[in-house]
């Protein structure tokens, strides 16, 4: 099966700081890949590059066979205009550490904003789908609430529903529980587990080792802008051969 997302030789700099160093990665439909590693290792930057929130400096990222940010003519690549990049970006849903909900709009309005305003889908259909998504994330009774009336865990579940409403081919999660109080983490991870069980393609940057162990098909360990090791949860989390990975796992467990 072809990869939904593929990265080849990806390099990224912030000024002179080399953030991503020759990243090689791919994920197939229905796979769940968790990315772990110390802070500052490039994990979140890699997700932002996939979603074209950051522009890479070398290599390429392809989403469902389409090169992100460029069109190919023969052996040459030409930058896409902004509206084409916006179209490509819809192929991946992204859930951030912070929820980024519109505070002046209801939960329902937040969820249908993209499908109606960007994808130009019929409002009636989008409202029905939004209500189904709210039921899926356990918040069917919050459609008319405002984000400020919800807990952090509830807001993050709304953010997940909002991303799913765009019908993406893959979901990216950037440490989705790191901003939550500990007692709220479980409700968000439960929604993510349900998505994984339903076959959603997911890349998850996380420090939740238990979630990785239970849900991931593969775990990537990143450090200093490089993928240091990759393997099954058992290989990376239970019996890591790489000393850098072993030291990290022993410190966080």
CA dist., res. 181 & res. 49, Å (int):
28
Contact 78, 110 (CB under 8 A): no
Which pLDDT score is estimated for 1?
A: 57
CA dist., res. 239 & res. 232, Å (int):
10
Contact 177, 156 (CB under 8 A): yes
Q: Compute the chain's Rg from CA coordinates.
A: 18
**What H or E segment, with its residue span, contains residue 37?**
none
Residue closest to 232 by CA, chosen among 219, 249, 215, 214: 219
Pairing assessment for the beta strands 17-28 and 32-36 based on DSSP bridges? unpaired
Ranges of the chain whose pLDDT falls below 70: 1
CA dist., res. 49 & res. 67, Å (int):
12
Helices (H), 60-117: 82-89, 107-117
CA dist., res. 191 & res. 202, Å (int):
13
Q: Measured between alpha carbons, how far apart are the two ends of the chain, in Å?
A: 35
Q: pTM for the complete prediction?
A: 0.94
Among all chains, which residue has been given the structure tokens 């953010």?
159
Sort 84 into a burial class: Cβ within 10 Å, 0-12 / 13-18 / 19+.
Answer: middle
For 222, phi then psi, to 5°, come to -110, 145
CA–CA–CA angle 169, 173, 177 (5° rounding)? 150
CB atoms within 10 A of CB 232: 12
**What H or E segment, with its residue span, contains residue 25?**
strand 17-28
Enter the tokens of residue 214.
């239970």
Enter the tokens of residue 122.
């019929």
């Amino acid at each position: 099966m072809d990869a939904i997302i593929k990265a080849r030789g990806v390099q990224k700099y912030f000024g002179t700081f080399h953030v991503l160093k020759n990243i090689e990665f791919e994920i197939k439909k229905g796979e769940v890949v968790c990315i772990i590693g110390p802070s500052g290792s490039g994990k979140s930057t890699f997700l932002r590059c996939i979603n074209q929130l950051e522009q890479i400096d070398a290599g390429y990222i392809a989403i469902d066979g389409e090169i992100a940010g460029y069109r190919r003519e023969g052996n040459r690549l030409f930058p896409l205009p902004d509206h084409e990049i916006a179209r490509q970006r819809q192929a991946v849903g992204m859930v951030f550490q912070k929820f980024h909900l519109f505070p002046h709009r209801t939960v329902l309005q937040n969820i249908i904003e993209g499908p109606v305003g960007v994808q130009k889908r019929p409002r009636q259909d989008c409202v029905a789908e939004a209500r189904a998504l709210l039921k899926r994330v356990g918040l069917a009774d919050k459609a008319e609430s405002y984000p400020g009336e919800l807990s952090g865990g509830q807001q993050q579940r709304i953010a997940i529903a909002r991303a799913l409403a765009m019908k993406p081919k893959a979901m990216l999660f950037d440490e989705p529980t790191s901003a939550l109080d500990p007692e709220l983490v479980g409700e968000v991870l439960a929604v993510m587990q349900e998505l994984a069980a339903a076959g959603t393609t997911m890349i998850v940057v996380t420090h939740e080792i238990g979630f990785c162990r239970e849900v991931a098909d593969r775990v990537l360990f990143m450090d200093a802008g490089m993928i240091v090791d990759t393997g099954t949860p058992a290989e990376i989390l239970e019996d890591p051969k790489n000393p850098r990975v072993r030291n990290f796992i022993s410190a966080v467990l």
